Amino acid sequence: GNSVTQMEGPVTLSEEAFLTINCTYTATGYPSLFWYVQYPGEGLQLLLKATKADDKGSNKGFEATYRKETTSFHLEKGSVQVSDSAVYFCALSNSYGNKLVFGAGTILRVKS
Amino acid sequence: EPEVTQTPSHQVTQMGQEVILRCVPISNHLYFYWYRQILGQKVEFLVSFYNNEISEKSEIFDDQFSVERPDGSNFTLKIRSTKLEDSAMYFCASSERGKHGYTFGSGTRLTVV
């Protein structure tokens, strides 16, 4: 079946540090890949997505590239801020209208 | 920007009681979902709904659960007889036909006591 594996957290960084959160997946076919962010006490917000191999999703300084050869979709940001502190979820979907399969989530804490 | 609206934001109920969680998806979306997140754990798929019927459901979605779209705008999740382990955050989501994007509501925190 489909699954998503994320690096375990929490990840604690100082402001302006470089961020990488690893995500790998197992899926049949060619899934679409997503990063969602959950700020404290809030719901899930789509951060970025990529729908085919070698696509790069980007938003708010975050980037992730769909790597089919390594089945990965790692999240990166060059310089994190305290306001980026949240839980980040990697997810996949096999087709339009199909369910999302989530990773376990990675807590990011950014200290000033 | 269009939103998925969920009510209530927090519900406390006694074990064995029925609860109905309500969602108003984005108006031109055709696919609807319920997910849940037990505190500190991953987000789990419960059920998807398309064309007025369930298109997929998980093992969690047993006979105690049901979904309905009673009036063309609301999308409800009913838990017939709640258990302590049903305590979780429940998220509604919707997506547009032919597009890879899911919009989530802000969730209902259900506490079963």
pLDDT tens across A30-87, in order?
899 999 999 987 889 999 999 999 999 999 999 999 999 999 999 999 999 999 999 9
Question: CB distance from B91 to chain A under 8 Å?
Answer: yes
Average pLDDT of B101-111? 92
Query: What is the per-residue pLDDT across B28-86, written as a single tens digit (0 to 9) for each?
Result: 898 999 999 998 888 999 999 998 999 999 999 999 999 999 887 899 999 999 999 99
CA distance B80 to A93: 29
Contact A100 B97 (CB under 8 A): no
- Give the three-state DSSP class for A80: coil
CB-closest option in B31, B45, B107 to A97:
B31
CA distance A8 to A5: 9
Q: What is the pLDDT of residue A94?
A: 83
Asked whether the predicted pLDDT for residue B97 surpasses 80, the reply is no
- Helices and strands: H and E segment counts in chain B: 0, 11
Question: CB distance from A103 to chain B under 8 Å?
Answer: yes
- Give the three-state DSSP class for A94: coil
Question: CB distance from B24 to chain A under 8 Å?
Answer: no
Average pLDDT of B19-29? 94
